[in-house]
Amino acid sequence: MMHHEGLCCGRRQAVGRGDRARPFRLPGARPRFLPDRPARVAHYRLEVALDLPEQRLEGTATLSLRFQRGADRVRLDAAELDVAAVHWADAPERALPFEVGDEALVVRLDAPAAAGAARDLVVRYATRPRRGLHFVLPDREHRQRQPMAWTQGQDEHARAWFPCLDTPRDRATTEVIAEVPEPMEALSNGVLVGQGPGARPRTRRFHWRLDQPHPPYLVTLVAGTFQAVDDRWEAPDGKVVPLRLLVPSRLAPLAARTFAPTRAMMDHLSAWTGVPFPWPRYDQVVVEEFTFGGMENTTQTTLTARTLHDETVAQDFTSDHLVVHELAHQWFGDLVTCRDWSHAWLNEGFATFCEALWEERARGRDAYDAAILDMREQYLEEVDGRYARPIVTRDFHAPIDLFDRHLYEKGALVLHHLRGLLGDEDLRAGVRRYLEAHRDGGAVETVDLERALFEETGRDLGAFFSQWVHREGHPALKVTFEHDAGAGLGRFTVEQTQAGAPFELELDLVLVRGEAREAHRLRLAGKREVASIPMTAPPDRVVVDPDGWPCATLELDLPAAWLRRVLLEEARLIPRARAAAALAKKGGRDDVDALRRVLAQDGHHGLRGRVARALGEVGTTEARRALEAGLETVADPRVRARIAEALGGFPGDPAAGDALAEMLRGDRSPLVEAAAARALGKVRAPGAREALTAGLARESWNDVVRRGCLDGLGALFDPAALDACAPWLAYGRGEWTRYAAALAVGALADAGGMTTRTRALEALVPLLRDPELHARIGAIEGLQAAGDPRALRPLDRAGDDDVDGRVRRMAREAMRAIREGQDRATRDERLRRDLDALRETSRKLRDRLERLEAIVDDRLPGPGPHEGLPGRRGRGPGGGGREERDVLRGTEGLQEG
């Protein structure tokens, strides 16, 4: 399992802490459509000067307009720009009247423009931007900061530093001519066509140009002092693309490890898409205090410094997912861009899918399968805890509302499903046609991908996209088996247990007898389907959906013997991981033994981590001993972290607490120590608060250990823990550490009654106005967890006034949750305590069952190969019925995926 550490392109980092899904649409949201465009911009020439101490930009923007119809005015997007003058480039002496307001600059023309007219409009302006362009400066609490400035245009923030048509539909060529203080350099899109002294004393001037059209949100400007590493990539046709990595000097030693695979990724993506890297150069620029993980500006990606890492976490952390995601956007998002944000999955779903494709290319099919399972779990977490929505929807307050697990992970899962439906070769051919057909116009909607796939393969996928992209939710499948010896049939029943109408999909089954494998494909269309397969005896095991093609949950109510054989004997990771999850619900002694054996084996960490989770869900003494034994034998820190998490499922167990405390005191990996700290808080063993408080003093990469200790303290539900957490809310403690502290304070709000709740609110409410983004987000999540109605008014102000759309969205969600009374900390804690008590009762019962099984095993002979399998007798030869046979698709020549 990859540690994302909150690094991603634009998806919201925080996950709502609710206990049930709510509607995606919030009050006040309305369908969003693009505005009319009487004139398009063919070219932007931006001449800007940065004043870092004053955090100010002065600029002159020249927009080459092409009128598509007659017009007497031009409306441009402009947010908080102080516009000094507007005139035609060929008539600077004649000022044009204009109005500024509602994030718009409306210019009244001196004479109506005719359709087809072309003219250059000049806008002189200045701004101290609150968004779009960010200044990073050292202060008393952040003396190590390196002065710099950087832009972030997605989703609608380009308008905050230059006037433009700020939609992804509107593409133009660009020039950026930037004047910055010495010794800084200015970086932008395309190629550097000139540099020299600036017009002001002690400044430098840099002139960048990109002659291929791209949308305003991808226009970038970065100013700073960097250490550069130059490289090159050569395409198969001999074209050479310069590569450059720019990193703040103090972080330069960490850069090589992070970005080493870039050239291989370019090889891979060029080959997979069939379209060689489409831009004249590619730079990767690392900046400080970046508000996302990365941003795919055309030819020049901006990345957070938090992705740089040292040898202490090199074995269990990789930046590959972030680097390849942003690189993939140079095809999906930059070369071809969603026409409007409702179709943004065409950008983000493809880039996320490319993360899995790179895992397969670099580390094998198990790594790809593990990435797909990770994505599915992240999507389901959002469905279970926040909302379900169609991937394509127009009902939102701001486009950033859409940048969630549906847009990224479910979008990637749709493409994974298409890979299974079409085959890898046809999918790649269709994607190549999609890119080539639209690279000139650039703006696409979902139907454009659908049509390209049809034109390439002849497969009409209208029903597929209607169901998986334009409909919310997913199928929840439950599979059971029954053998009818009299009829000589095995009956597989597949139920769709989700609310609402059934999905239509295909589900693969593989029946295994010895070395023979028999593949069947079931066509499902109803809420309950039965497939009857001739068989004189049940198979040795059955593998359901071995490739995990559909985006669905799968409950396997199958014999434990089958599940154990799948776990122990199958080669593919997805069915083995699902078997482990199903065995966790059975929890017998043999099931625990099978899980223990896989945990101890060498194998992909994505499987062994899920096996550790399954043992934690079993919850018996034997399961806990298997996890403790894993700590003695497992060296892979990624698996050790999952073992620590699983031990957190043994509340009140002193042995689990001792093992976790030992891990926290000194594991080889700080990420393992952080996982142990979180789990130790959940166990609430004696001495946990003291151990976690001591851990707050530990320094580690990205503060992961300290953040883990804060999470653990928050889980203790001990009012004394509030004193340990509150000091870490202070400005200067680190943005993500403050985020963790805010969550902990919110979780502890009801631990000591009204006094503690008031203390928590007094600590969190001021953070809603904090300059650091994730401190504000943490405050919102903490207040939602506390559930105190007194937080509604300050949350309402944040939902209306905050400059960041992510904050506004989360504040509105928190208000809704508090009003509904669903996230009150007291109720959550009561449920948590009830669950802990049930787990303890279940553990004792299963321990007793294990002892009884041991006695029975000593007295009885072992079962035959098919004993204990469900069955029935007395059905005639035609017992399956026509309806049952119809769900089986012809299997002649069908091979396993």
From residue 212, give the alpha-carbon distance in Å to each of 61, 219, 442, 612. Answer: 19, 12, 10, 50
Q: Which pLDDT belongs to residue 408?
A: 98
Q: Which of 440-444, 454-458, 789-793, 796-800 has the lowest mean pLDDT?
A: 440-444
Among 345, 403, 60, 48, residue whose Cα is nearest residue 220: 48
8 Å CB contact between 338 and 215 = no
Per-residue pLDDT band for 14 (boundaries 50, 70, 90) equals very low
pLDDT tens for residues 416-433? Answer: 999 999 999 999 999 999
Measured distance CA(155)–CA(769) in Å, rounded: 22
Q: List phi, psi (to 5°) of 845.
A: -65, -40
3-state secondary structure string across 652-691: CCHHHHHHHHHHHHCCCCHHHHHHHHHHHHHHCCCCHHHH
Strand 282-287 with 300-304, pairing? parallel
Among 124, 80, 84, residue whose Cα is nearest residue 103: 80
8 Å CB contact between 678 and 708 = yes
Q: CA dihedral in degrees (755, 760, 765, 768; nearest 10)? A: -170
Per-residue pLDDT band for 11 (boundaries 50, 70, 90) equals low
Per-residue pLDDT band for 10 (boundaries 50, 70, 90) equals low
Q: Which pLDDT belongs to residue 311?
A: 86
- For the cut 80, the answer to whether the pLDDT of residue 881 exceeds it is no
8 Å CB contact between 93 and 110 = no
Q: E-strand spans in 367-427?
A: 395-396
Q: Is 173 helix (H, G, I), strand (E, B) or coil?
A: strand
Mean per-residue pLDDT of the chain = 92
**Interval 223-234 mean pLDDT:** 96
- For the cut 70, the answer to whether the pLDDT of residue 848 exceeds it is no
Higher pLDDT, 454 or 310: 454
Q: Which helix (H) or strand (E) holds 229?
A: strand 226-234
Measured distance CA(335)–CA(212) in Å, rounded: 9
Higher pLDDT, 9 or 685: 685
Q: Which pLDDT belongs to residue 110?
A: 93
pLDDT tens for residues 797-833? Answer: 999 999 999 999 999 999 999 998 854 444 555 566 6
pLDDT tens for residues 46-84? Answer: 999 999 999 999 999 999 999 999 999 999 999 999 999
Q: Which of 253-262, 511-520, 560-569 has the lowest mean pLDDT?
A: 253-262
- For the cut 80, the answer to whether the pLDDT of residue 853 exceeds it is no
- Residue 891, amino acid: T
Q: List phi, psi (to 5°) of 488.
A: 65, 40
Per-residue pLDDT band for 864 (boundaries 50, 70, 90) equals very low
Among 377, 430, 394, residue whose Cα is nearest residue 30: 394
pLDDT tens for residues 187-218? Answer: 999 999 999 999 999 999 999 999 999 999 99
Measured distance CA(340)–CA(337) in Å, rounded: 8
**Number of neighbouring beta carbons within 10 Å of residue 879:** 16
Q: Which pLDDT belongs to residue 21?
A: 72
- For the cut 80, the answer to whether the pLDDT of residue 834 exceeds it is no
Which of 23-27, 110-114, 609-613, 834-838 ranks highest by mean pLDDT? 609-613
Measured distance CA(444)–CA(466) in Å, rounded: 17
Percent of the chain with pLDDT over 70: 90
Helices 560-569 and 589-600, interaxial angle, to 10°? 10
Measured distance CA(469)–CA(445) in Å, rounded: 12
Measured distance CA(77)–CA(63) in Å, rounded: 12
Measured distance CA(496)–CA(84) in Å, rounded: 63
8 Å CB contact between 673 and 706 = no
- For the cut 50, the answer to whether the pLDDT of residue 897 exceeds it is no
Q: Which pLDDT belongs to residue 891?
A: 36
**Number of neighbouring beta carbons within 10 Å of residue 402:** 27
Measured distance CA(588)–CA(847) in Å, rounded: 9
Partners of residue 492 on adjacent β-strands? 481, 531
pLDDT tens for residues 617-673? Answer: 999 999 999 999 999 999 999 999 999 999 999 999 999 999 999 999 989 999 999
